[in-house]
Structure 1
Amino acid sequence: MDPMHSGMRYTPKATEHEWDPSLQFLPASDSKKLEKKKGLKAGAVIGLIVFFLVISLMTGLLVWHFHFRKVVKIKKMYTGSMRITNQVFVDSYENPNSTEFKTLAKQVSLELREIYSKTPQLSKYYIDSTIQAFSEGSVIAYYTSEFHVPSGHEDSVDRAMSSMDQIVHKSQERRRTAKLTSGKPVDLVFDDVVTAELDTRLFQTPKALRFYQHTRSNHIGILESPGFPNYPYPPNQMVQWQLRADRGYVIKLDFDTFNLEENCKNDFVRIYDSLVAIESRVMDEICGYYSPSDHLAYVSSGNVMLVTFVTNEARDYPGFRAHVSQIPATTGVMKCGGTLSASSGTFKSPNYPDYYPPFTSCVWSIQVPSGKYIKVTFEKFLVSEPGQDGTSCSKDYVKINGKKLCGEFSNVVETAEESYLTVVFSSDASYVDRGFTAKYEAFEPKDPCPKKFMCGNSNCIDQKLKCDGWNDCGDNSDESDCKCSSSQISCRNGMCKPKFWLCDGVNDCGDNTDEQNCGFCSKEQFTCPHNNKCISEKQKCDGRDDCGDGSDEAECARSNEVKCTQYTYQCKNKKCVSKLNPECDGTNDCTDGSDEENCDCGKQPYKTSRIVGGQDASQGEFPWQVSLHIRGSSHVCGASIISDRWLVTAAHCVQDDAKTRYSQPGTWDVYLGLHEQRDKSKAVKRGLKRIISHPSYNAYTFDCDIALMELDSPVTFTDAIRPICLPSPSYVFPVAKSVWITGWGATREGGYGPNVLQKAEVRIINGTVCNDLMGGQLTSRMLCAGVLAGGVDACQGDSGGPLSSLSTEGRRMFLAGVVSWGDGCARRNKPGIYTTVTKFRGWIKEMTQV
């Protein structure tokens, strides 16, 4: 036995002062060294304590960070679709409750989970996937995937999901190789993977309803917003309609009523070329109020479509109704492209003038007789899309002569100096538009514009239109190198412009020739709008009425109450405000709020039509327009609705002649809400109770050319029948402001009136210049306005009709003038003369109480 392992191993501690006799103490040779060693030991102990404190603190922080700290996570939803190439579609896949649907849905869901779990950027945040639907080809699966992502990590998840097609492809390759090696059957095979983040508005709404509809031939289905037509749609709701057509058909969605809140951030309808809301497959987002004449009709690229309707918590509106049908994918509506071999002809985008489908590709080959060239004119062109600036044309476009066209325009000409030309139209997967209509024609190379002037853009115009001051070509080539007449402005750059554009504050020449030597105030001065007085800019907002009309104290930050003059707006409490045109602008400028009373006027209920290049007004676009007929006969004059009983027209319309007593109420039939003269079924007909012509009307000078008409019974206001706002006496319609004239008047001298209500944009003209042009015939109660579009094709409106001016904030139209007289009808360089309504505001109120 080892002696070291025998005996007692533990020795009890010795009591105090009892030392082990065998223990020997070595003498300390240096007491300072001994003290130093003691210090080192103490430092080591302190260091250990600090170390353990740091470790404890770090541990605590980590525990708090990972266990106790509440991590902010953001819910992210993604939608997508992918084609299952090794499956065949069966009808039971349409039914989410069928065994077949559930079985395949489970397989796809498991596949998605497997794919996400193998992707580091996604695996930690993935929650679940839901298979929403299947459709043909071979089988397309539509899904939503949910992730809860810590704040700050959203970008990495977005990047990963944006490359889902690559992730799925790599995953499929790995698993296919493994299955083939092991001899096991291959799982579902995917391609054509499309994924996008879901719009947050589509999953934050608490209420959601989903409907399914399969169209069939010779049948029209109905889609209606909840409550339509009896009640407004409810707030905070989302409704989705999954629409299907038979194989070989596409879906047509046609809205006959559409009335939502104007702001798409609140209430909207989205249409998808898919069965789930994939952002890259959205065809359009719609809101606002559309006229029945502004057709909203969409066609899918395949046999599926999704319609999504979302509302927020405020302001309920009537909603919408749409018709759903299926049409053959090869029908004439959908066909496009082909060979065009005649000397002239037309072609258009599929479904024009309704919206073309996504994924469209058309090729037209135009072949004219040998030795001739080709000219193509795009009469109306609406091919625009969000994110496309009109220059790159990287999304939807028309390709001709090697260049791409996109955007909005009309009457653009392209020529090919050969007898063969190819035109290509292409639309991508998202956002569709109305498309285009075009005509082509062959022409002789030596004479491209027989007996006409050829513009720089190859357009052809009448020789008389050259150097007349109007840009008829569209590229100003007809107005260059001109010799101006005495009735025109001679611009230094060689152009000629109508003289009534002189000194109106707009640079029409392009080199400012027309705005020089006008007697205007200098740049350091303020121009008083009513009397053209010049004052120093320093006198603005100084508390004194330096202009004499209060305009220099308008729009100042402090109180805008000023001394009352003929140029200031007077409130009901007899106090006056200096703000320019304060009435019905949505702000209470009067302390008694009277400037915002009686403001249910001048509203255009519908969105303005986007159809370019025409002068037809949209149905209901000018609901205050009235058509005055001689009883039992046709249209004679126009008028404007100012209340449910009263109209404003021109005094010269109600003057008797040898044959007709126009001053008598029984002579007239009044049509309100009329759009087409040949279709009066939708209009409201009224008789007249009395006619009041202004007592100072002068039949020779047309001074005070204004009259009032009282209806024999009140009219009920609708979308098509509404009053226009009457301006106060102090209301200012500044020179160069764009205004609108409307009517059914002849579009040329000696011509016939049109069937559809016409509109034309005109510009208010400097009164002094206009008076000179008209031989000094203007009075202070007349307003001058000229046609911007120019030419005989721009309707000058009818006598008695309205000159409508949009308010500064763009909320309402005000009656600036009444169509009175002019030198002929629609003559170039001859402006129209209108009765200034502000000069007769007091008389109108006295007669009508309006």
Structure 2
Amino acid sequence: MRNPEPPTRGPRASRGSSVGELSADLRYKHHSQIMNGSEEIVEFLPVNNGKKMEKRGPKRCVVLLVIVISALLLSLIVGFMVWHFQYWNAKVQKIYNGYLRITNRQFVDAYENSNSSEFAELAGKVKDTLAALYGSIPALGPYHKTSVVTAFSEGSVIAYYWSEFSIPQHKVKDAQWALMGERIFNIPPKSRALPTLSVGSFVAYPVDPRTAQTSLDKSCSFALHTKVGEVTHFTTPGFPDSPYPNRARCQWVLRGDADQVLSLTFRSFDVAPCDERESDQVKVYDSLSPLEPRAVVELCGTYPPSYNLTFLSSQNVLLVTLITNTPLRHPGFAAQFFQLPKMSMCGGALTEVAGTFSSPYYPGHYPPNIDCLWNIEVPSGNNVKVRFKTFYLLEPHMTLGSCSKDYVEINGEKYCGEKPPFVVASKSNKMTVRFHSDASYTDSGFLAEYLSYDSSDPCPGMFTCNTGRCIKSELRCDGWADCTDFSDELDCVCNATHQFTCQNKFCKPLFWVCDTVNDCGDNSDELQCGCSGQTFKCRDGKCIPESKKCDHLRDCADGSDEADCGDGAGAASCPQNSYKCRSGVCVSKANPECDGMRDCSDGSDEEQCECGTRSFNKQSRIVGGQNSDVGEWPWQVSLHAQGQGHLCGASLISPNWLVSAAHCFVDDMRNNMRYSDPRVWTAYLGLHDQSQRQASTVQERKVKSVISHRLFNDFTFDHDIAVLELDQPVTYSNWVRPICLPDATHSLPPGKAIWVTGWGLTAEGGTGAVVLQKGEIRVINQTTCHRLLPQQITPRMVCVGFLNGGVDACQGDSGGPLSSMEDNGRMFLAGVVSWGEGCARRDKPGVYTRVPLLRDWIKEKTGV
């Protein structure tokens, strides 16, 4: 990642009265007074009649109680009647999709055409047969409204259909039980169903009514049949020039010849993003009816071209459906399919000393409904070891720990899901490996190797993990779990000089103690790490005098001494590590810019945030390497020097500007190369493979100007940063997008995972990469960085990597991005690849230009 350099320091390239009162008043008034009020006559009642007069009828409270109870009873009766007639007997529309097997007919080509007389004739008989079948089931017969036959396929003939029922609410469960699973039916002899149609079995499942509508929408319904040696292509309507239709129900019926299976690949896929509430959705079924138990895959969102989107059928048909619900405008997909001979057997006998085997059609998705059995036998006296190099047997909604769907079974134990490489060993010279896939969703499967080994010494000259994996002896007790079961870090005696003994007995490097990262797993390396009285502890573990906290000067390397100093509202200036809003208000929150939350009242922290996102958010499963995906790092730029090819990397920050490393543009007078001259350079954006610079995704631009930091020191590599102006602006696309620039207060806490990318050397002293490489590394605290590289680290530098080596930038990566992902998934340019001592050496992390500290300079020079 560098131009010619010193041998030890290498450049690198989300109210009224009551009834009682009224009655008492009337007893003391003459009736005439009541009638007309013209005479005033008072009549006194005998005392002994008072009691009698009070008992003229039942007590009024009793009457009221009777009235209330009667009203309640009446309400209950009315309510019950309303519920009974409107709810209990309410009819519910239910649609069931399914298929039935016709055993006394042979498939003819005319059945493929739904407009043919042969199709109409057989479809009519199927509908009569369905009516008869439903009629024989009390829970279904009275409620069946209609059935529609949608397609036929071989086997002898399979009829696909959907049936509509109008079922009383209280009968829905009975109906569902009646149709559960695959049922064998014999038509009763006295049945009026046509005797010429013999049904072996039929299946039906409840379905979303929208899916059934696809059969009625002929404007977006297609039927394709591929032949031997042909590759048949199809796309969504309008692809790629216009988006697919909104609120559409589309389907593609795919067929091959008898005794063949289909291989379907989506070459380009871009539909509306996945959303739990509503989204556009593509589904593929191993059937010609959209039966959920026969769904092979469900897709939405965007996938890069290199992502594995190849799917196999178990028979000679597939159904692809597209249901669109959102108004978003996306191009859709381009796909192709062809036929393959149906696999006659799966598995076999493996008798060599070593060998490999894989799931069917690997690395494409294995087909549904398949079982394979491998019988491995190695020479007598030895044992068998199987190492799964890749293992992807994952299904949607899979219950954790349950392997009831797709699995690999060895020695009675089942394995499923997504796993890192692992080893299974036998206790004899034989092993049986069984692979099973059910009728629904499939994955890309596995790749495995087996070998014969001596049980007394399974890993000659190496350490044997409890899983059976072999690792180098020096990796034993080095603080890193190289065995997936941690067995290489158990029962260790730590080296007191260089290692810390965790409470869980793991050994960790001594300089990881008190670095704010829980390296032990039980946090014992971060206990008892406080600073003494009158001191402040930085986030990276350093102790400074309390008086230096909030003094507007960065005394902690990570700026944590200036991070929590109040919001500073109305302040003329902010502490060095506080974010300053456009209004002048200071925000002490860490990294508030473009995090999706409005922290500044004027919203300035969320402006200019159309950056740091990737169209292709699915990551490919790459076997045994660090190849990046096409479009995975759309801000990565390749800089080519005239006559020399790729020399350095850079990052796109706007349509016109790039950020790179200053050391890439130091002139080499010995070889008469003026790297400071912009005319020497050509920038390639959207590039993935250096051998395909003419690809349609790539944009080529000349460099108009090169501006290196005036304080760049080509001996210490301090201020190693430069900006490049392009002669013409680039056009943003799925493959070309800018990365976000961090605010000057953006923090990079120790232990944070960051990605480095580039086409540099894949090994120290090796050759450059052709395909863009990626590596995940982590920030190392500044104290450790100073200790490992004494007198060489300045505040403008940050160490990132692994202290045991193994992952690092190298020559040719210089100037490239150090991409830091925040919690909302947005990427920021944390650093620029600068220098290092060798590549991926133990205790020699890579050194990168700390971009946040040079943010103001970048804005001054570019306006970005």
Q: TM-score, normalised by structure 2?
A: 0.82
1:498 and 1:829 in contact (8 A); partners too: no
Match of 1:765 in 2: 780
1:176 and 2:188 are equivalent in the alignment: yes
Q: Cα 1:829–1:484, aligned 2, differ >3 Å: closer, same or farther?
A: farther
Choose the corresponding residue for 2:151, options 126, 129, 133. 133
Aligned counterparts of 2:749 and 2:171: Cα–Cα separation in 1: 55
SS across alignment from 1:97: coil
Match of 1:158 in 2: 176
Match of 2:353 in 1: 343
1:500 and 1:829 in contact (8 A); partners too: no
SS across alignment from 1:176: coil
2:570 and 2:585 in contact (8 A); partners too: no
Q: Cα 1:729–1:59, aligned 2, differ >3 Å: closer, same or farther?
A: closer
SS across alignment from 1:687: strand
Match of 1:301 in 2: 314
Q: Cα 1:681–1:447, aligned 2, differ >3 Å: closer, same or farther?
A: farther
1:714 and 2:723 are equivalent in the alignment: no
Q: Cα 1:61–1:339, aligned 2, differ >3 Å: closer, same or farther?
A: closer
Correspondence 1:568-583 to 2 at 5 A:
568-583=578-593
SS across alignment from 2:188: helix
Aligned counterparts of 1:54 and 1:763: Cα–Cα separation in 2: 72
Deviation at 1:654, TM superposition (A): 2.2
Match of 2:827 in 1: 813
Match of 1:406 in 2: 416
Q: Cα 1:57–1:230, aligned 2, differ >3 Å: closer, same or farther?
A: closer
Match of 2:95 in 1: 77
Deviation at 1:453, TM superposition (A): 2.1
Deviations 1:466-505 (A, max 9, x none): 2332222222222231433744443343323345644343
Deviations 1:601-644 (A, max 9, x none): 11111123241653211111011112233322243322211122
Aligned counterparts of 1:801 and 1:241: Cα–Cα separation in 2: 44
Aligned counterparts of 2:101 and 2:571: Cα–Cα separation in 1: 70
1:551 and 1:580 in contact (8 A); partners too: no
Match of 2:664 in 1: 653
Q: Cα 1:824–1:56, aligned 2, differ >3 Å: closer, same or farther?
A: closer
Please tell me the residue identity of whatever aligns with 1:819.
Answer: V
Match of 2:288 in 1: 275
Aligned counterparts of 1:210 and 1:62: Cα–Cα separation in 2: 47
SS across alignment from 2:140: helix
Match of 1:199 in 2: 208
Q: Cα 1:313–1:477, aligned 2, differ >3 Å: closer, same or farther?
A: closer
1:390 and 1:405 in contact (8 A); partners too: no
Aligned counterparts of 1:358 and 1:499: Cα–Cα separation in 2: 52
1:216 and 2:240 are equivalent in the alignment: no
**Which moves more between the two structures, 136-145 or 212-221?**
212-221
1:374 and 2:384 are equivalent in the alignment: yes
Aligned counterparts of 1:303 and 1:322: Cα–Cα separation in 2: 17
Correspondence 1:438-449 to 2 at 5 A:
438-449=448-459
SS across alignment from 2:485: coil
Q: Cα 1:468–1:830, aligned 2, differ >3 Å: closer, same or farther?
A: farther
Match of 1:470 in 2: 480
SS across alignment from 2:664: helix
Match of 1:836 in 2: 850
Please tell me the residue identity of whatever aligns with 1:754.
Answer: A
1:616 and 2:627 are equivalent in the alignment: yes
Aligned counterparts of 2:667 and 2:615: Cα–Cα separation in 1: 37
Aligned counterparts of 2:188 and 2:714: Cα–Cα separation in 1: 93
Deviations 1:327-376 (A, max 9, x none): 22249xxx641222222221111121111111121112223223222221
Q: Cα 1:381–1:121, aligned 2, differ >3 Å: closer, same or farther?
A: same
Aligned counterparts of 1:148 and 1:828: Cα–Cα separation in 2: 72
Match of 2:129 in 1: 111
Please tell me the residue identity of whatever aligns with 1:102.
Answer: A
**Which moves more between the two structures, 821-830 or 63-72?**
63-72
Gaps of 5+ in 2: 1-56, 58-66, 547-559
Aligned counterparts of 1:847 and 1:822: Cα–Cα separation in 2: 27
1:736 and 1:765 in contact (8 A); partners too: yes
Please tell me the residue identity of whatever aligns with 1:423.
Answer: V
Please tell me the residue identity of whatever aligns with 1:144.
Answer: W
Aligned counterparts of 2:108 and 2:513: Cα–Cα separation in 1: 73
Q: Cα 1:57–1:749, aligned 2, differ >3 Å: closer, same or farther?
A: closer
2:756 and 2:775 in contact (8 A); partners too: yes
Deviation at 1:584, TM superposition (A): 2.4
Match of 2:164 in 1: 146
1:437 and 2:447 are equivalent in the alignment: yes
Deviation at 1:416, TM superposition (A): 1.9
Match of 1:266 in 2: 279
Choose the corresponding residue for 2:681, options 644, 647, 668. 668
Aligned counterparts of 1:146 and 1:821: Cα–Cα separation in 2: 70
Aligned counterparts of 1:98 and 1:91: Cα–Cα separation in 2: 10
Choose the corresponding residue for 2:641, options 630, 634, 651. 630
Deviation at 1:128, TM superposition (A): 2.0
Q: Cα 1:345–1:56, aligned 2, differ >3 Å: closer, same or farther?
A: closer
Q: TM-score, normalised by structure 1?
A: 0.83
1:101 and 2:112 are equivalent in the alignment: no
Correspondence 1:53-64 to 2 at 5 A:
none
Choose the corresponding residue for 1:680, options 683, 693, 705. 693
Match of 1:15 in 2: none
Match of 2:303 in 1: 290
Q: Cα 1:67–1:376, aligned 2, differ >3 Å: closer, same or farther?
A: closer
Aligned counterparts of 2:380 and 2:626: Cα–Cα separation in 1: 38
Deviation at 1:266, TM superposition (A): 0.5
Choose the corresponding residue for 2:744, options 725, 729, 751. 729
**Which moves more between the two structures, 767-776 or 239-248?**
767-776
Deviation at 1:73, TM superposition (A): 4.8
1:742 and 1:796 in contact (8 A); partners too: no
Please tell me the residue identity of whatever aligns with 1:237.
Answer: A
Aligned counterparts of 1:585 and 1:530: Cα–Cα separation in 2: 27
1:642 and 1:726 in contact (8 A); partners too: yes
Deviations 1:46-92 (A, max 9, x none): xxx99999999898767756668897654332211121223322222
2:777 and 2:807 in contact (8 A); partners too: no
Aligned counterparts of 1:87 and 1:501: Cα–Cα separation in 2: 74
SS across alignment from 2:840: coil
2:805 and 2:845 in contact (8 A); partners too: no
Aligned residues: 777
Deviation at 1:230, TM superposition (A): 0.8
Aligned counterparts of 2:545 and 2:205: Cα–Cα separation in 1: 60
1:397 and 1:426 in contact (8 A); partners too: yes
- Let me know the Cα RMSD of the aligned residues: 3.7
Aligned counterparts of 1:349 and 1:695: Cα–Cα separation in 2: 58
Deviation at 1:513, TM superposition (A): 2.6
Q: Cα 1:191–1:634, aligned 2, differ >3 Å: closer, same or farther?
A: same
Deviation at 1:804, TM superposition (A): 0.5
Q: Cα 1:782–1:419, aligned 2, differ >3 Å: closer, same or farther?
A: same
